[in-house]
Amino acid sequence: MSKAMDQTPAGAALPPSLWAATATEAIAIATATPPCTESKTVDVAIIGGGYTGLSAALHLAEAGVNVCVLEASEPGWGASGRNGGQVIPGLKYDPDQLRVMFGSAKAEGLIDTIGKAADTVFDLIARHNIDCDAVRNGWIQPAHSAAVMPVLEKRAAQWAERGAPIELLDRDAVARRIGTSAYVGAWVDRRAGSIHPLKYCRGLARAALAQGVAIHGNTPVVRLERQGQRWLLHTGQGAIITAERVIIATNGYTGALWPQLKQSVIAANSFIVATRPLPAALGDSILAGKEVVSDSRRLLLYYRRDAEGRLLMGGRGPFPDPRGPQDFAHLERSLALLFPQLAEVGYEYRWAGRVAITRDFLPHVHEPAAGLTIALGYNGRGIAMASTMGRCLAQRLTGDAATPFPFPVSTIQPIPFHGLQRFYIAAGVAYYSVLDKLS
């Protein structure tokens, strides 16, 4: 975050386009990604300027493909610019669970890919010199109860068997590393880290632009039309993009562009608050090692320190978009319970973004028509998984036979009674809250 962009009064929800970015950066990205006003023909057109779309565009361009990215707002406007900045490999399921779900042979490629997902992010940062406050000091997953600790120990053991650098912590070690006595133990995955999410997204955009990708902000695609062997993408400005192949990468902000796609995910809000920079005396006792944390609750809390010393706390929130500080009160109560020593610090920023949750908690890849690929549903692991998905999609579209596509390709399955998704979320929050208390 930059004090130069502190244009929102303390206590108000911060517009995501202002979060932690200077006015110069915002103007530069807007200038470099103007609306599309003229029709053109490309090899691949990508709908969505978040991590998936920009990673795919960058990797395709590096392979010599002529690419165009169409974003309805600006690169990083969605959850790619509004998340908690935690770069964590893996999925909801542990390796042994994925073997049962897909069979050992099919699961191996997926497990290997998700285990290296954080590598994708930090490799891109290093290769393209992306300035995004990157820190790779690991992820701590602490246990909120003694009953949960054996589950975390098994998880750690499964990844350790595959060569991951892991560590187990007892109650005292967790308290020293995190700065709270609320947990009974933890495991640490040192493959993980943190970034400034909007700076990273804009860095991907700049890298793609440098490779010749045309990126157009404020260019919604209002209709897709198949004409012969090509796709026509009709934009809100009237320009038509003609492409041999199309990728839809709109994730939690998916609309009605393709039938039943919006109904295949729950677009849940993730809410985040950020304290003011912590005084040195307090800061030295809370995550001094700069790890990221997301705990073992089903309604998990996730938090980290940022480059300016703030403590960022995130978690689920109501279905509607926030309208004011009262919508973040549940997170501030949680932070006060975990870190009562911060009672007088106060809050500087509040924001939210939508994550796409799938019924099976797996990323979904669809190919419902010739030349059309859709990818969405990262279930809260979007930085690492979406960046990796973009790379894998580029390899798939360029016919890279040496790298088999690791993700299962499925048909679009709408969630029953999707129009009631706000009630799904409310019921899920209540149910998981009870389970967390019971455990």
* Other beta carbons less than 10 A from residue 329's beta carbon: 12
Q: What integer pLDDT is reported at residue 14 of this predicted model?
A: 40
Q: How far apart are CA 372 and CA 370, in angstroms?
A: 6
Q: How far apart are CA 197 and CA 350, in angstroms?
A: 15
List, in order, residues 6 or more apart from 156 with CB less than 8 Å away.
166, 168, 187, 189
Pull the structure tokens for residue 174: 């967790």
Beta bridge partners of 423: none
pLDDT digit string (tens) for 4-55?
Answer: 223 233 333 444 433 445 667 778 888 999 999 999 999 999 999 999 999 9
* Other beta carbons less than 10 A from residue 85's beta carbon: 26
Indicate the helix (H) or strand (E) that contains 153: helix 149-161
**Residue 295's closest CA among 398, 149, 176, 394?**
149
Greater model confidence, 2 or 187: 187
Place of tokens 């779309």: 53
Beta bridge partners of 292: 139
pLDDT over 50 (residue 339): yes
| Axis crossing angle, helix 117-127 with helix 382-397, rounded to the nearest 10 | 80
Greater model confidence, 207 or 280: 207
What distance separates the 2 farthest-apart alpha carbons in the chain?
A: 67
pLDDT over 60 (residue 429): no
**Residue 393's closest CA among 58, 84, 78?**
58
Q: Is the pTM of this model over 0.85?
A: yes
What share of the chain in percent tops pLDDT 70?
89
Half-sphere exposure of residue 291: CA atoms within 13 angstroms, side-chain side: 24
Q: Positive or negative, the Cα torsion across 357, 359, 361, 363? A: negative
Q: How far apart are CA 327 and CA 331, in angstroms?
A: 9
Q: How far is CA 179 from the centre of its chain?
A: 26
Task: Calculate mean pLDDT across residues 223-247.
Answer: 97
**Residue 51's closest CA among 305, 353, 343?**
353
Q: How far apart are CA 114 and CA 407, in angstroms?
A: 10
According to DSSP, residue 424 is labeled: H
Q: How far apart are CA 305 and CA 293, in angstroms?
A: 10
List, in order, residues 6 or more apart from 171 with CB less than 8 Å away.
181, 183, 184, 185
**413 contacts 150 by C-beta, under 8 angstroms:** no
| 235-244, 306-315, 353-362, 417-426: the lowest-pLDDT one | 417-426
pLDDT digit string (tens) for 83-138?
Answer: 999 999 999 999 999 999 999 999 999 999 999 999 999 999 999 999 999 999 99
* pLDDT bracket for residue 434 (50, 70, 90): very low
Q: What is the pLDDT of the chain when averaged over all its residues?
A: 89
**365 contacts 375 by C-beta, under 8 angstroms:** yes
pLDDT digit string (tens) for 194-217?
Answer: 999 999 999 999 999 999 999 999
Q: For the chain, how many residues are written?
A: 439
Greater model confidence, 7 or 403: 403
| 71-75, 260-264, 346-350, 398-402: the lowest-pLDDT one | 398-402
